[in-house]
Amino acid sequence: MSAVAGHVPQVTGRPVPGIEKEVLEQLRAAFGPKLSDVKIVRPQLLEVSIDRKDLVPLCTYLKNTLGFEHLSCITAVDWKDRFEVVYHVENYYNGCMVQVTARIPYDDPKIVSLTGLWNAANYHEREAWDLMGITFEGHPNLERILLPTDFKFHPLRKNFAQEVDRQYITRRKLRGGT
């Protein structure tokens, strides 16, 4: 890959065919057994899972060596027995997207912040803290961003009930029944 060779690659705006296999090989060579659930979903999209303690080395490698300069999105998922934080990292030089999933135990919702690598992580991590209650260690300003500062809950968690379970109006209900 040209990013490894040292010279600055040009953004051509077009995808490089087969790039996901190349990235996968490089990740396997660098991290090997630390990666789990590795799969190529479709061209240009690669999925890997990793323990939360190896997240920063992996992301540093992705950004500085492989040229994944764009952090697209950070998603926090509540699986009831564990949390997952999903990072979508994109390479503008070849159009490859890597989806990195980090598992977090439910009783200890902490993960290291990536604001040192990508400034874009700043708002995404604040949002994940606000709505899902995951603490990002090392974040410069971990405050609520969308909800009021005195809000007590993290509403995207599954144990935060919604008013109604399902939004159905059945025909019987329309006719006045229960």
Partner 1 sequence: MPEFWINMGPQHPMTHGLWNMKVKVDGETITDAKPEIGYLHRGYEKIMEVREFQKNVVLTDRLCYVSSITWSHAYCLAVEKMMGIETPERGQWIRVISLELQRIASHLMWLASYGPDLGLLTGLLWCLRERELFLDLIQLMSGARMNQNFPRVGGVRNDLPENFGAMCRRSIEHFLEKVDNEYPKIFHESKVFRMRTEGVGRISAADAINWGVTGPNLRACGVNVDLRRLDPYETYEEIDFEPQVWHDGGAGDSYARFVVRYNELKESCGIILQAFEKMPKTGPYRVKSPRRAEGEGYAKTEDSRGEALFYVIGDGDDRPYRVKIRSPVFCTMAATPMLLRGNKLADVVAILGSVDVCVGEMDK
Token pair 């065919």 in the structure block, residue:
17
Determine which residue in the list 98, 99, 104, 109 makes contact with partner 1, applying CB under 8 A. Answer: 99
Task: Kindly state whether residue 167 participates in binding partner 1, applying the rule CB under 8 A.
Answer: yes
Structural contact between residues 73 and 98, judged by C-beta atoms closer than 8 angstroms: no
Determine which residue in the list 19, 20, 27, 78 makes contact with partner 1, applying CB under 8 A. Answer: 78
Task: Kindly state whether residue 162 participates in binding partner 1, applying the rule CB under 8 A.
Answer: yes
* Paired tokens of 122: 């700043």
Q: Which is nearer to partner 1, 162 or 178 (CB)?
A: 162
Q: Dihedral through CA 51, CA 25, CA 74, CA 56, nearest 10?
A: 50
- From residue 37 to residue 76, the character string flagging contacts with partner 1 as x (rule: CB under 8 A) and all else as - is -----x-xx-----------------------xxxxx-x-
What string of H, E and C letters represents the secondary structure of 16-78? CCCHHHHHHHHHHHHHHHHCEEEEEEECCEEEEEEEHHHHHHHHHHHHHHCCCCEEEEEEEEE
- Our measurement of the distance from residue 31's CA atom to the centroid of its chain's CA atoms, rounded to an integer in Å, reads 19
Q: Which is nearer to partner 1, 55 or 96 (CB)?
A: 96
Residue ranges that bind partner 1, judged by CB under 8 A: 11-15, 42, 44-45, 69-73, 75, 77-78, 86, 88, 92, 95, 97, 99, 118-120, 122-124, 127, 131, 144-148, 155-156, 160, 162, 164-167
